[in-house]
Structure 1
Amino acid sequence: MSSTTHKPTILSNLPPIFSMLHEAKTKAGLTFEQLAQKIGRDEWYVAAIFYGQAKPDKQDIERLSQSLDVRINYLDEGLGDNFFPHRGLGEFPPQDPVLYRLYEVLVVYGYPLKHMIHEKFGDGIMSAIDFEGHVDKIEDPKGDRE
């Protein structure tokens, strides 16, 4: 990994396969969006694989191997049949400013969101099992915050 590339701190707590994935992605010069297009998956799902939050299937592993020029046996060993995702990584509350702001959304708007879910769908819970997310920039007429 080049010295100009930031290595997410959380990777130091994960098995080495995840640092290797990040290094291969950096070397290939791909974004998660570009990699997702190459392997036929959602950008969010692909990013989750890179942090041990999602379990790639056999086809995902083959396509990652081809797209990142990583030997398939490394990916099979690290992410194959014996790998199980570990969800909920990191300290709580998060110290990273971006993660903290997402946490803040739930702290500030959690109960209003819960109430709206109950009004629209009745008693029950919301599931993140089939969660989909998209990251897009929306221009603010007042300008970006720095």
Structure 2
Amino acid sequence: MTREELTEAIILAKKNKGLSWEDIAAHLEMGVVWVTSACFGNNSMPEAPATKLCSLLELPDQAMTTLMEYPTKSWGRDVPQDPLIYRLYEAVGIYGTSIKEVVQEKFGDGIMSAIDFSIDIDKEENPNGDRVIIVLNGKFLPYKTW
């Protein structure tokens, strides 16, 4: 079973069972963004949550192996066409150098880890239009000198 076939099977089972990504993540006792990412083939899923997911969604036997495979992490280099993804791309494009400057002013010369990392997404109701809150929480890794 390829990653693409697995993702398709997961989305179909999710839809047929009337589940949300929040429902699935709660069942696995894991973060919703990470679980969704693993279901889309961007992370390998450890055995225990993979077993729970396969059981919950009644996935075929081959799904377990595919869920646990180490992915090659890559993405297209073209500007994203999906409006929501494009806006995130645009925000980093416009504010990226400013974010970098502020992070380095506070922490020093280094990077934010995307390995020791989490993402939380929240909704804030607002009379002027509901707000999307995205929190990127990564460990600071200073550049080494030698």
Instruction: Settle same-fold status: TM greater than 0.5.
Output: yes
Ranges in structure 1 where 5+ consecutive residues have no aligned partner: 1-12
Counterpart in the other structure of 1:108: 94
What is the total number of aligned residue pairs between the two structures?
130
Report if the CA contact (8 A) 2:123-2:130 is conserved: no
Percent identical residues = 35
Structure 2 residue matching 1:129: 3-state secondary structure: strand
Ranges in structure 2 where 5+ consecutive residues have no aligned partner: 132-146
Return the TM-score normalized by structure 1.
0.80
**Alpha-carbon distance in structure 1 between the residues aligned to 2:23 and 2:77:** 30
Counterpart in the other structure of 2:105: 119
Report if the CA contact (8 A) 2:44-2:71 is conserved: yes
Counterpart in the other structure of 1:84: 70
**Alpha-carbon distance in structure 1 between the residues aligned to 2:123 and 2:52:** 28
Counterpart in the other structure of 2:137: none
Q: How far apart are 1:14 and its partner, in Å?
A: 5.0
Matches within 5 A, 1:1-146: 14-71=3-60, 73-80=61-68, 83-90=69-76, 92-143=78-129
Q: How far apart are 1:144 and its partner, in Å?
A: 5.2
Measured on the aligned residues, the alpha-carbon RMSD in Å equals: 2.0
Return the TM-score normalized by structure 2.
0.80
| Range 130-139 or range 111-120, more displaced | 130-139
Report if the CA contact (8 A) 2:14-2:57 is conserved: yes
Structure number with higher strand proportion = 2
1:76 alignment partner AA = M
